[in-house]
Structure 1
Amino acid sequence: MVKISFPDGAVREYNEGSSALDIAKSISEGLARKVIAANVNGEVWDATRPINNDATLKLLTWMDDDGKSTFWHSSAHLMAEAVESLFPGAKFWVGPAIERGFYYDIDLGGRQITEEDMRKLETRMAELAKQANPYVRKEISKADAIKYFDEKGDEYKLDLLGNLNDGNITFYSQGNFTDLCRGPHIPNTGFIKAIKLTNIAGAYWKGDEKNKMLTRLYGVTFPSQKELDEYLALLEEAKKRDHRKLGKELGIFTMDDDIGPGLPLWLPNGTIIIEELEKLAKETEQRAGYKRVVTPHIAKESLYITSGHLPYYEDSMYPPMELEGQKYYLKAMNCPHHHKIFAAEPKSYKDLPLRLAEYGTCYRYEQSGELFGLMRVRCLHMNDAHVYCTKEQFAAEFRAVNDMYLKYFKIFGIDKYVMRLSLHDPAKLGQKYINEPELWLETEAMVRKVLTESNIPFVEVQDEGAFYGPKIDVQIWSIIGREFTLATNQVDFAQGRRFKLEFTNK
């Protein structure tokens, strides 16, 4: 027997090898019909996977975010099965769930998917869904997995296998489709009742422009036609309010091929909006004790090596330009420039906290497939600030920044938001994160305490911190539920040492 602990604190015993679906059935058949996955000991599993040891269990339905993610990941596999049946020989890279739906990156061997093909694929997916084929998980050795995809001539899956360890490899099959996948998946295809393929795009293999261009096919599915109809109605509303459409109609901004993707040109009407927003920010920050500064758009490579942005952030920076034997980079962030301003003059404890603010123009080399109007660009006017303070002043300063966000939200009518506390992953210290384990734990605890004492709702997310410290990402949603990061409040415990920033203490 195994002991299963439920979210309400109840503990019950079940036969070893019982699945989450078996357990749901023992509670009620109605519940079992809604369960599509399970959280077992903090990890999302197939609802049909046997539980062989004592465990904590949360049953997941469509109403849970992890339930939706599992549903859409399974839908991606269903779409792949349909693609394989209509486009024999197609090869598949990855097919994840995304915020609203799913996609699959596909090598069609030079063939193109038309609008008519998309409708045929929807029909085929619906036919396959009605078959209620189970998603079957199979553990497989690395040698057998390589043999399987070698015989298929699938270089994409062979590449994925190269990064996997023997003993941690699983296949999932449904109907006539088998894929390399860690899961989880819904019990069977019959849960998928409503299907819409939404878009086709190009995507470089592994996101590298030097690699082959694959076809990225997007879709969304729901457990009922009513929910799909409501979603499509929201999309129509979103089209009316699309800032790219409004930007053109109202003469706010434009993009030009000769300028480059992700580099907006602000027209006179847009410039009025920018200047009014900047005026509001400057007045607000001045009242809060901020001092304004201005920094150059480029800097030597050595500055970003000192800050640590090189090499951690290099992939998001424009390539360097070489002048007089020195490498210069376009500024992707204002931080190191502000640190140099702090260090330019002697400071004492009487100068702290020192709050420096700038509307700095930054340049970030976002991948082509990630660009989206003004939401994801390569040139941005960043309302940025850095607060230099003692540990004793930290809580008050961090709280004040969060309070400033809340004032802005009230002005602009932003009612739905969440603070996301982004933490480090101890396993990636020295790789993705500054190797200061004690400082990570200390600063994360400091931020958590401020949020808790301020009664600000927040969620914690592992492995999403900045390379130099924890941060708060302020998340908001569009009319169709698309999530965006509006602002970030970061803690940097590394730069003081790196730049030898100091002040005369009491």
Structure 2
Amino acid sequence: MSEQHITITLPDQSKREYPKGTTGYQIAESISSGLARAALSITVNGDIIDLDHVINEDATIAINTWDTEDGKYTFWHSSAHILAEAIQELYPEAKFGIGPPIESGFYYDIDFGDKSITQDDLAQIEKKFIELARNKNTFDRREITQQEALEFYKDKGNEYKVDLIEGLEDGSITFYTQGSFTDLCRGPHIPNTGIVKAIKLTSLAGAYWRGDNNSKQLTRIYGISFPKQKMLEEHLAMVEEAKKRDHRKLGKELGIYMIDKMIGSGLPVWLPKGTRLRRTLEQFLRDEQFERGYQEVITPHIGSLELYKTSGHYPYYKDSQYDPIEVDDEEYMLKPMNCPHHHRIYSNEMRSYRDLPLRLAEFGTVYRYEQSGELSGLSRVRGFTQDDAHIYCTHDQLKQEIKHTIDLTNYVFDTFGMPVDIRLSFRDENDEKYGGEMEYWERAQSEIQEVADEMGLDYTIAPGEASFYGPKIDFIIRDAIGRKWQLGTVQVDYVMPERFDLTYVGSDNDKHRPVIIHRAPFGSMERFTSILIEHFAGNFPLWLSPEQIRVLPISDDQNEYAQKCVEAFKEKGVRITLDDRSEQIGGKIRDAETDKVPYMLIVGAKEQEAGTVSVRRHRKGDIGTFTFSDFLSDTLKEIEQKRLPED
């Protein structure tokens, strides 16, 4: 290759040569004119940069469009700048703090001085935003010295930007300007403002500067934007549907869980119905794991501090862990991870290649510190249970074991009707942040991709997203209203076998290092349950529902027959209850519908005499009269097959 050319590796691992100084836009255009029109930014060796930024060295790149995470990041970052420009036009005295993109949209922290901004003002700001966006102004980047940057913001009287600049190194500072607005920013940005076609400012909040309660409280304006108005309309409809499905609301109404201040913030308590739901989930996975050769273990809720120092979790993740506990001159920690305990189980005896693969599984509860403002129902908690498993295998077994974990994870999400997007998270060019030998990395990444190809998986490759100890496969599921959640992960680990000095005796009678696969399809039982509640809107499939059937006698005269029905189902392990209250049947049906019970069996004098049941299906109404034995048989089959609810 000429010294005047560079090699560019694309997401599909294909390679192309370009002249030095080629821009991201030129690479996109060389692939297709459609891609060039859709391109928003480019990711180079894990860093997102502007499309017009030149590339002078060999690199791994991805062209970012709206359909990619990095593309949305760029789009919403630019939208935050347009918002600030609109604020500057409408409120010239406003001073700006920070305005980052977030998971779904963006925000900007602003000091409005004596002016008080309310929800009613947001419509006017949105109007000005769209007016400015239509100017199609480019985002012009320029490097600036620290002194010049300080003088710029001191002249404006903006102490917030001055505070930020004083913490930056000279020579690393850049400004971006679009239209009449200039901001301290490292980028990247979309080609021009006209790409943003729709905006919704969603809420206002107070935010202390740098999170310091002693500093001034700024006004935080949240927003979300789209390249098409129709996308915004669809998003707003999804938001309304999501409110109806909110697991915090449904979790309370359905008696799934509670949070009690006396017990502690972020420490959920599973109520009887929630416990039945969770145990059903656990048994589902436990049965699958048993069939697939896993062995279940149980480890303590605390561990010696030395254990986590060896693993590297302490002190590197100290901010998310609870302080050590002193006991008899020793220090212990609330367990932040299950894996170090499993590694010690592996070390408990000498292992032979004949013992491998060894698959250890645990529903293990861990504890991590979350700030109180980040806690949210079951989705963000301080104590949660992971469906952890660690597979210890030889290098020769790695590929087959990866296949097994992918197959299990896909089976789990298929059972719940959740489509899966797969991302292969590989290392980038930064050698310093990764552990283990490079030859093992290259082999693992190659084998992961070979497995994905052999299984016919539709996947993307994300350079720079690997764990520090190895590449991984991320499973991103889509729920019933189209939201994406990253849940299952399969991680290949070469670092922990070294840290814990794990070995096995090979067929050559020498000691070798095993490879470890970390996997957890559910991830956290708490978070997965919160997603399930919202995915099904509380209308769980029969096999999963905490209460599967409710028997409703029309009068007290049918209570004895109703009880016999209940007992027959209970003998088969069905979760069934009897509503023998002296209430009108209409009221009993309404209550069962409110409780989202899948089946209601109405029994009156006619049913009692004929040995039948009149059946109502939740959300569908009356579905007919069945002989008791036929309905029992059909119900057991539906549970066994884990059928999903029909819309």
Aligning the two structures, in what range does the TM-score lie when normalised by the shorter sequence? Answer: 0.7 to 0.9
Picking from 398, 401, 406, the partner of 1:397 is 401
Residue identity matched to 2:504? F
Residue identity matched to 1:344? N
Unaligned stretches of 5+ residues in structure 1? none
Q: Following TM superposition, by how much is the alpha carbon of 1:490 offset from its aligned partner in structure 2, in angstroms?
A: 1.3
**Hey, what does 2:475 align to over in structure 1?**
474
Residues 451-484 of structure 1 show CA distances to partners (whole Å, capped at 9, x for unaligned) of 2333222222233222322222211134554432
Contact 2:435 2:494 in 1 (8 A): no
Mapped to 2, the partners of 1:258 and 1:113 lie a distance apart of 37
Residue identity matched to 2:139? Y
Q: Is 1:317–2:328 an aligned residue pair?
A: no
**Hey, what does 1:492 align to over in structure 2?**
493
Mapped to 1, the partners of 2:63 and 2:301 lie a distance apart of 52
Residue identity matched to 1:237? E
Q: Is 1:273–2:273 an aligned residue pair?
A: no
Q: Following TM superposition, by how much is the alpha carbon of 1:492 offset from its aligned partner in structure 2, in angstroms?
A: 1.6
Aligned residue runs from structure 1 range 221-300, under 5 A: 221-300=225-304
**Hey, what does 2:101 align to over in structure 1?**
97
The worse-fitting range, judged by mean Cα deviation, of 248-257 and 220-229 is 220-229
Secondary structure at the counterpart of residue 366 of structure 1: coil
Q: Is 1:356–2:360 an aligned residue pair?
A: yes
Mapped to 2, the partners of 1:60 and 1:465 lie a distance apart of 19
Residue identity matched to 2:341? H
Mapped to 2, the partners of 1:84 and 1:395 lie a distance apart of 56
**TM-score for the superposition, normalised by structure 1:** 0.83
Residue identity matched to 1:448? Q
Q: Following TM superposition, by how much is the alpha carbon of 1:335 offset from its aligned partner in structure 2, in angstroms?
A: 0.3
Residues 26-45 of structure 1 show CA distances to partners (whole Å, capped at 9, x for unaligned) of x99x999x657454978766
**Hey, what does 1:423 align to over in structure 2?**
426
Secondary structure at the counterpart of residue 505 of structure 2: coil
Q: Following TM superposition, by how much is the alpha carbon of 1:51 offset from its aligned partner in structure 2, in angstroms?
A: 6.6
**Hey, what does 1:445 align to over in structure 2?**
446
Residues 137-172 of structure 1 show CA distances to partners (whole Å, capped at 9, x for unaligned) of 333233312322344454543454456554443211
The worse-fitting range, judged by mean Cα deviation, of 391-400 and 323-332 is 323-332
Contact 1:207 1:367 in 2 (8 A): no
Q: Aligned in 2, Cα 1:12/1:348: closer, same or farther, shift over 3 Å? A: closer
Q: Aligned in 2, Cα 1:62/1:305: closer, same or farther, shift over 3 Å? A: closer
Q: Aligned in 2, Cα 1:405/1:94: closer, same or farther, shift over 3 Å? A: same
Residue identity matched to 1:485? Q
Q: Is 1:196–2:196 an aligned residue pair?
A: no
Mapped to 1, the partners of 2:450 and 2:407 lie a distance apart of 15
Q: Aligned in 2, Cα 1:88/1:362: closer, same or farther, shift over 3 Å? A: farther
Mapped to 2, the partners of 1:504 and 1:205 lie a distance apart of 57
**Hey, what does 2:145 align to over in structure 1?**
141
Q: Following TM superposition, by how much is the alpha carbon of 1:337 offset from its aligned partner in structure 2, in angstroms?
A: 0.7
**TM-score for the superposition, normalised by structure 2:** 0.66
Contact 1:41 1:55 in 2 (8 A): no
Residue identity matched to 2:463? Q
Q: Which has the larger radius of gyration?
A: 2
Q: Is 1:326–2:330 an aligned residue pair?
A: yes
Q: Aligned in 2, Cα 1:283/1:52: closer, same or farther, shift over 3 Å? A: closer
Cα RMSD over matched residues? 3.9
Residues 31-69 of structure 1 show CA distances to partners (whole Å, capped at 9, x for unaligned) of 99x65745497876656x487989999987656665544
Mapped to 2, the partners of 1:283 and 1:299 lie a distance apart of 28
Contact 1:92 1:107 in 2 (8 A): yes
Q: Identity over the aligned pairs, expressed in percent?
A: 49
Contact 2:142 2:174 in 1 (8 A): yes
**Hey, what does 2:544 align to over in structure 1?**
none
Mapped to 2, the partners of 1:468 and 1:173 lie a distance apart of 40
Residue identity matched to 2:441? W
Mapped to 2, the partners of 1:313 and 1:363 lie a distance apart of 12
Q: Is 1:406–2:410 an aligned residue pair?
A: yes
Contact 1:235 1:480 in 2 (8 A): no
Aligned residue runs from structure 1 range 61-140, under 5 A: 62=66, 66-85=70-89, 90-107=94-111, 113-140=117-144
Picking from 177, 185, 199, the partner of 2:189 is 185
Residue identity matched to 1:226? K
Q: Following TM superposition, by how much is the alpha carbon of 1:388 offset from its aligned partner in structure 2, in angstroms?
A: 1.3
The worse-fitting range, judged by mean Cα deviation, of 165-174 and 250-259 is 165-174
Mapped to 2, the partners of 1:271 and 1:155 lie a distance apart of 52
Q: Aligned in 2, Cα 1:292/1:369: closer, same or farther, shift over 3 Å? A: same
Mapped to 2, the partners of 1:422 and 1:442 lie a distance apart of 14
The worse-fitting range, judged by mean Cα deviation, of 191-200 and 467-476 is 191-200
Q: Following TM superposition, by how much is the alpha carbon of 1:128 offset from its aligned partner in structure 2, in angstroms?
A: 3.3
Secondary structure at the counterpart of residue 322 of structure 2: coil
Contact 1:234 1:479 in 2 (8 A): no
Q: Aligned in 2, Cα 1:324/1:137: closer, same or farther, shift over 3 Å? A: same
Q: Following TM superposition, by how much is the alpha carbon of 1:12 offset from its aligned partner in structure 2, in angstroms?
A: 11
Mapped to 2, the partners of 1:393 and 1:19 lie a distance apart of 40
Residue identity matched to 2:349? E
Q: Aligned in 2, Cα 1:267/1:50: closer, same or farther, shift over 3 Å? A: closer
Residue identity matched to 1:102? F
Mapped to 1, the partners of 2:151 and 2:286 lie a distance apart of 63
> Number of residue pairs matched?
494
Contact 2:80 2:108 in 1 (8 A): yes
Contact 2:418 2:478 in 1 (8 A): no
Q: Following TM superposition, by how much is the alpha carbon of 1:281 offset from its aligned partner in structure 2, in angstroms?
A: 1.1
Residue identity matched to 1:488? T
Mapped to 1, the partners of 2:161 and 2:493 lie a distance apart of 39
Q: Aligned in 2, Cα 1:457/1:202: closer, same or farther, shift over 3 Å? A: farther
Q: Aligned in 2, Cα 1:210/1:289: closer, same or farther, shift over 3 Å? A: farther
Mapped to 2, the partners of 1:209 and 1:470 lie a distance apart of 40
